[in-house]
C-alpha cells in the first residue's frame, strides 16, 4: 500500500547516489588541490634555486663587491675574484656566433617555409630538428677532432695572412680559441633560430601570400613583402633564444676555448666564459672560491633571464598578432565586392550597352610613360625571375651548409666507432687500461657497460620525479589555471626551459654539499638535477596538449554527469596522451644528452654503480672525460659511445615525430 513505505523516507538508491556524489566532489576538490599544490611547489623550487645561489654567493659579493664585475684577475690562492674577462669572453663568443648563425638560419627558414616542395620540406625539417637534438658534448668532441685541426692548419693561418696578422686575427693560430668556440656555437644555435623562424613564417596567414602572388609577385617578393614583416617578432624571439643558449652553453665551449683567463687580444686568443669557469673549478674549489663561482653563476643567470624573457615576450606577441590577423566575416569591406555566392555581372556603362561597345572599339593611344614602361617590362621580368632563382639557390645552399655538420658527425662517428658498436662485449665491459694496439699486443678495447647502466638509472630516476610533477602541473595550468597566477607560472616555466644547465647542477651540488656532503656527488643528486631539467618540458607539453583538446569534448562528458576531475583524467588526458608522451620522450632525450649538470653532481665512475649514494657514470661523461685522450683504444670507445648516443637520439626523435603527427591528426579529426 502507498502509506506503508513511509512518505518521508529517502529511497535507498537515492541515498547511495547522494553518498557517491559527495565522494566524487571530495575527490574532485582533492585532485584540484593536488595539482595546484604541485604547481605551487614547482614555483617554490624555482625560488629555492635562486635563493640557494644568492645565499651561497653572499660572502663573495660582500668580499669582492664591484671588483667581481669589473676586476680582471682571478686568483683563488689570494682570494682575488674578478670575472670581467669571463664576461667579455662570454659576450664576444655569443655575439660572434649569432653573427655567423643568423644569415644561414634565416636562409634555412625561408627555404623550408616558402620555397621547398612538401616532401623535401618534411625530410629536411626532421634533419634540422635532429641537429638541434644532438647533445652538446658530441658537438664539442666533433669540434675538437675535426674542426680544431681545420682551423689551426688552414682557416686561421689564411685569415692571418689575408689581414696581415693584425686587429682581430693576430697571435698564434692554435685552433682552441675564441674563434673556434664561436663557430661551433653558431652550429649549435643555428637549428634553434631556423626552427623558430620557420614557425613564425608559417604562422603568417596564407591570404597575405596569395594576395601578393595574385598581384604578380614572385615567391621571393611575396615572402619579402608579405611574410617577413608580420613574422619579424617571432624571428627576433628565435634569435634571442639562440643568443640565450649560446651565452649559457658550457660543455662545447669548455672543450675548444683553450682556458685563457685574461682579456682577449684577438679572436685567436684562448678564453674562459662564465659557464666554463664554473665547470672547471667548482667541484674542486675551496669554500671562498665556491662562493665566488656561485656569484659568477648569478651573473650568468641574470644575463640569460633577461635574454630569455625578452625572447619569450616577443614570441608571445607574435602569436597574439598572428591570431588577430584573421578577419571576421563582418569586417569584410562593404559595397566593393558582391556577397559570397552572388553572381558578378560586371559594371554598367551610363550610356547603355551600345555606347559601351563603341567606346571599347575606339583605338586608345597610350601615353609615352606607359609605352616606355611596357618596353622595359620583359627586362624587368627577367631580372625578377633571376633574383628569385638566385634566392632559391642561396637558401638551398644555406640548408646544405646547416646540415653539413650533422653529416660530418654521423660519418666520423661511424668511421671511428662502427667497429666498437657491433662488438657485443662493448655494451657490457668496463673501460680497459689505456694502450696503443700498434705497440702493445694485449691491447683491449673495453666498453661502456657502466656508462649505459648509469645513463638508464639517471634517466629512470629523473623520469620518476619529473613526469608526475610535470603532468600534474600541466593539468593545473590547462584545466584549472584560468587566472593571472597560472599565466605567470606558465610563462615562468617556459623561461626555465632556457636556463643554463650548469646552474641547475651547481644548485643541486651546493644544496647537498651543505646538507649532506657524502651524497653531493652521487646518482641521487644527478637524478634530481636531471629532473629539474625535465619538469619545465613535461609541464609545457602537457599544458599545450591539453589546451589543444576541443572544449566540446569536455562539455560532452560533463553533460553526461561526469565530474570535472573524472573528465580530466579519463577523457581529456586520453585525447592528449600522444602529445604528453611526446613531451616526456623529448624531456628524457634531453636528460640523456645532458653533461654539464652531471659534471657537477654524478661526476662519473668507471665501474658499475653499487648504489644511489655513490658517483655514477653516463655516456655523456665518458665522452667528456676521454675526448682528448691520445690512446687509440679509448678514442674508439669514445667514438662508439658517441655513435650509440646519436642512434638513441635519432630513434627518440623519430618516435616523437611519429607520435606528434598521430596526435595532430587525431586532434584535427576530433
Spell out the SS3 assignment of 575-587. Answer: HCHHHHHHHHHHH
Residue 142: is its pLDDT beyond 70?
yes
* Confidence at residue 92, expressed as pLDDT on a 0 to 100 scale: 95
- The pLDDT of 498-502, averaged and rounded, is 90
The answer to whether 308 and 77 have CB atoms below 8 angstroms apart is: no
Q: Where are the domains of the chain?
A: 84-287+388-409
Q: How many helices (H) and strands (E) does the chain have?
A: 27, 2
Give me the DSSP letters along 609-653. ---TTS-B--HHHHHHHHTT---HHHHHHHHHHHHHHHHHHHHHH
Position 344 scores a pLDDT of 44
What integer pLDDT is reported at residue 610 of this predicted model? 82
Whether the predicted pLDDT of 648 surpasses 60: yes
Query: In the structure, what pLDDT confidence band is assigned to residue 317 with cuts at 50, 70 and 90?
Result: confident
Tell me what the pLDDT averaged over the chain comes to.
84
CA distance 576 to 545: 5
Q: Which of 119, 252, 205, 163 is nearest to 623 (CA)?
A: 252
β-pair partners for 258: 271
Does pLDDT of 668 surpass 60? no
Q: What is the largest CA-CA distance in the chain?
A: 115
Distances (CA, A) of 341 to 328, 329, 338, 345: 17, 14, 8, 13
Q: Is residue 335 over pLDDT 50? A: no
Element (H, E) at 151: none
Whether pLDDT at 638 is above 70: yes
Please name the residues in contact with 202: beta carbons below 8 A apart, sequence gap of 6 or more.
113
pTM of the model: 0.85
User: What does the alpha-carbon distance between residue 302 and residue 95 come to, in Å, rounded to a whole number?
Assistant: 17
Q: For position 662, what pLDDT does the model report? A: 63
Q: What is the mean pLDDT of residues 346-366?
A: 53
Question: How much is the pLDDT for 102?
Answer: 94
Task: Enter the DSSP assignment of 316.
Answer: H
pLDDT at 34 over 60: yes
Let me know: does 233 contact 315? Beta carbons within 8 Å.
Answer: yes
Instruction: Tell whether the model's pLDDT for residue 480 goes beyond 90.
Output: no
Tens of pLDDT along 10-20? 566 667 766 76
Per-residue pLDDT reduced to its tens digit, 175-212: 999 999 999 999 999 999 999 899 888 888 888 888 88
Q: What percent of the chain has pLDDT over 70?
A: 86
Give the pLDDT of residue 642: 94
- DSSP per-residue letters across 218-285: -HHHHIIIIITTTTHHHHHHHHHHHHHHHHH--HHHHHHSB---S--SSTTS-B--HHHHHHHHGGG-
Q: How far apart are CA 627 and CA 641, in angstroms?
A: 11
CA-to-CA separations, 125 to 623, 626, 652, in angstroms, rounded: 28, 33, 16
Compute the average pLDDT of residues 305-321.
77
Task: Tell whether the model's pLDDT for residue 666 goes beyond 60.
Answer: no
- pLDDT, position 328: 46
**Residue where the block lists cell 653529416:** 407
pLDDT-derived band at 655, boundaries 50, 70, 90 = confident
Give per-residue pLDDT as tens, 401-457. Answer: 999 999 999 999 999 999 999 999 999 999 888 887 667 677 888 899 999 999 999
Inform me whether the pLDDT recorded for 296 exceeds 90. Answer: yes
d(CA 85, CA 191): 29
Q: Give the C-alpha separation, 524 to 609, whole Å.
A: 12
Q: Give exposure, 528-538, as e/b (b: 16+ Cβ within 10 Å).
A: bbbbbbbbbbb
According to the per-residue pLDDT averaged within each range, which of 145-149, 208-212, 488-492 is highest? 145-149
Other beta carbons less than 10 A from residue 79's beta carbon: 14
Note the pLDDT tens digit of each residue in 42-81. Answer: 999 999 999 999 999 999 999 989 999 999 999 999 999 9
Contact 203, 322 (CB under 8 A): yes
Identify the residue with better confidence: 158 or 342: 158
User: Over 80: is that where the pLDDT of 623 sits?
Assistant: yes
Q: Provide the pLDDT for residue 74.
A: 92
**CA atoms of 378 and 391, how far apart (whole Å):** 20
Q: Is the pLDDT of residue 352 over 90?
A: no
> In the predicted model, what is the mean pLDDT of residues 160-182?
88
| Structure confidence at residue 285 (pLDDT) | 87
> Do residues 618 and 454 lie in contact, with contact meaning Cβ atoms separated by under 8 Å?
yes
Residue 487 pLDDT: 84
* Mean pLDDT on 621-627: 92
CATH number of 84-287+388-409: 1.10.3720.10
Give yes or no for residue 1 having a pLDDT over 60. Answer: no
Q: Do the Cβ atoms of 297 and 503 come closer than 8 Å?
A: yes
Give the chain's length.
Answer: 670
Amino acid at each position: 500500500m502507498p502509506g506503508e513505505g513511509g512518505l518521508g523516507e529517502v529511497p535507498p538508491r537515492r541515498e547511495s547516489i547522494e553518498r557517491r556524489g559527495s565522494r566524487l566532489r571530495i575527490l574532485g576538490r582533492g585532485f584540484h588541490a593536488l595539482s595546484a599544490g604541485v604547481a605551487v611547489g614547482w614555483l617554490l623550487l624555482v625560488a629555492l634555486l635562486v635563493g640557494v645561489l644568492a645565499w651561497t654567493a653572499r660572502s663573495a659579493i660582500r668580499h669582492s663587491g664591484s671588483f667581481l664585475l669589473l676586476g680582471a684577475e682571478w686568483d683563488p690562492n689570494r682570494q682575488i675574484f674578478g670575472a670581467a674577462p669571463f664576461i667579455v669572453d662570454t659576450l664576444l663568443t655569443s655575439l660572434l656566433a649569432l653573427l655567423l648563425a643568423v644569415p644561414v638560419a634565416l636562409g634555412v627558414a625561408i627555404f623550408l617555409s616558402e620555397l621547398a616542395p612538401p616532401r623535401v620540406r618534411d625530410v629536411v625539417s626532421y634533419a634540422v630538428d635532429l641537429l638541434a637534438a644532438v647533445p652538446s658534448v658530441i658537438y664539442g668532441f666533433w669540434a675538437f677532432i675535426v674542426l680544431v685541426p681545420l682551423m689551426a692548419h688552414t682557416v686561421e693561418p689564411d685569415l692571418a695572412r689575408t689581414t696581415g696578422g693584425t686587429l682581430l686575427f693576430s697571435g698564434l693560430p692554435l685552433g682552441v680559441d675564441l674563434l673556434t668556440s664561436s663557430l661551433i656555437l653558431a652550429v649549435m644555435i643555428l637549428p634553434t633560430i631556423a626552427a623558430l623562424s620557420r614557425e613564425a613564417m608559417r604562422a603568417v596567414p596564407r591570404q597575405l601570400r596569395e594576395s601578393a602572388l595574385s598581384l604578380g609577385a614572385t615567391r621571393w617578393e611575396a615572402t619579402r613583402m608579405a611574410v617577413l614583416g608580420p613574422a619579424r617578432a617571432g624571428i627576433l624571439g628565435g634569435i634571442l633564444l639562440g643568443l640565450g643558449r649560446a651565452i649559457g652553453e658550457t660543455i662545447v665551449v669548455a672543450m675548444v676555448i683553450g682556458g685563457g683567463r685574461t682579456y682577449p687580444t684577438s679572436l685567436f686568443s684562448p678564453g674562459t666564459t662564465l659557464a666554463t669557469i664554473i665547470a672547471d673549478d667548482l667541484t674542486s674549489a675551496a669554500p671562498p672560491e665556491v662562493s665566488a663561482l656561485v656569484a659568477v653563476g648569478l651573473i650568468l643567470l641574470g644575463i640569460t633571464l633577461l635574454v630569455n624573457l625578452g625572447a619569450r615576450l616577443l614570441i608571445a606577441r607574435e602569436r597574439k598578432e598572428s591570431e588577430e590577423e584573421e578577419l571576421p566575416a563582418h569586417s569584410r569591406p562593404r559595397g566593393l565586392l558582391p556577397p559570397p555566392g552572388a553572381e558578378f555581372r560586371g559594371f554598367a556603362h551610363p550610356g547603355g550597352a551600345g555606347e559601351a561597345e563603341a567606346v571599347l572599339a575606339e583605338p586608345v593611344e597610350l601615353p609615352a610613360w606607359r609605352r616606355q614602361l611596357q618596353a622595359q617590362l620583359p627586362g624587368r621580368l627577367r631580372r625578377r625571375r633571376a633574383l628569385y632563382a638566385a634566392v632559391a639557390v642561396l637558401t638551398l645552399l644555406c640548408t646544405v651548409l646547416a646540415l653539413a655538420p650533422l653529416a660530418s658527425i654521423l660519418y666520423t662517428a661511424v668511421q671511428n666507432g662502427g667497429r666498437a658498436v657491433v662488438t657485443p662485449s662493448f655494451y657490457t665491459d668496463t673501460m680497459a687500461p689505456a694502450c696503443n694496439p700498434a705497440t702493445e699486443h694485449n691491447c683491449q678495447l673495453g666498453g661502456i657497460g657502466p656508462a649505459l647502466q648509469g645513463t638508464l638509472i639517471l634517466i629512470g630516476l629523473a623520469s620518476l620525479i619529473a613526469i608526475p610533477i610535470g603532468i600534474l602541473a600541466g593539468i593545473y595550468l590547462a584545466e584549472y589555471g584560468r587566472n593571472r597566477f597560472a599565466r605567470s607560472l606558465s610563462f615562468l616555466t617556459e623561461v626555465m626551459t632556457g636556463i643554463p644547465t650548469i646552474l641547475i647542477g651547481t644548485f643541486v651540488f651546493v644544496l647537498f654539499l651543505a646538507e649532506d656532503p657524502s651524497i653531493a656527488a652521487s646518482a641521487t643528486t644527478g637524478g634530481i638535477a636531471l629532473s629539474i631539467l625535465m619538469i619545465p618540458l613535461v609541464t609545457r607539453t602537457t599544458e599545450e596538449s591539453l589546451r589543444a583538446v576541443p572544449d566540446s569534448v569536455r562539455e560532452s562528458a560533463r553533460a553526461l554527469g561526469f565530474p570535472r576531475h573524472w573528465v580530466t583524467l579519463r577523457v581529456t588526458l586520453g585525447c592528449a596522451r600522444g602529445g604528453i608522451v611526446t613531451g616526456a620522450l623529448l624531456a628524457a632525450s634531453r636528460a640523456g644528452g645532458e653533461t654539464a649538470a652531471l659534471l657537477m653532481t654524478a661526476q662519473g665512475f668507471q665501474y658499475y654503480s653499487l648504489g644511489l649514494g655513490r658517483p655514477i657514470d653516463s655516456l655523456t661523461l665518458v665522452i667528456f672525460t676521454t675526448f682528448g685522450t691520445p690512446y687509440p683504444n679509448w678514442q674508439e670507445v669514445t667514438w662508439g659511445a658517441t655513435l650509440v648516443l646519436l642512434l638513441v637520439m635519432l630513434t627518440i626523435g623519430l618516435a616523437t615525430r611519429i607520435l606528434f603527427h598521430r596526435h595532430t591528426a587525431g586532434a584535427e579529426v576530433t
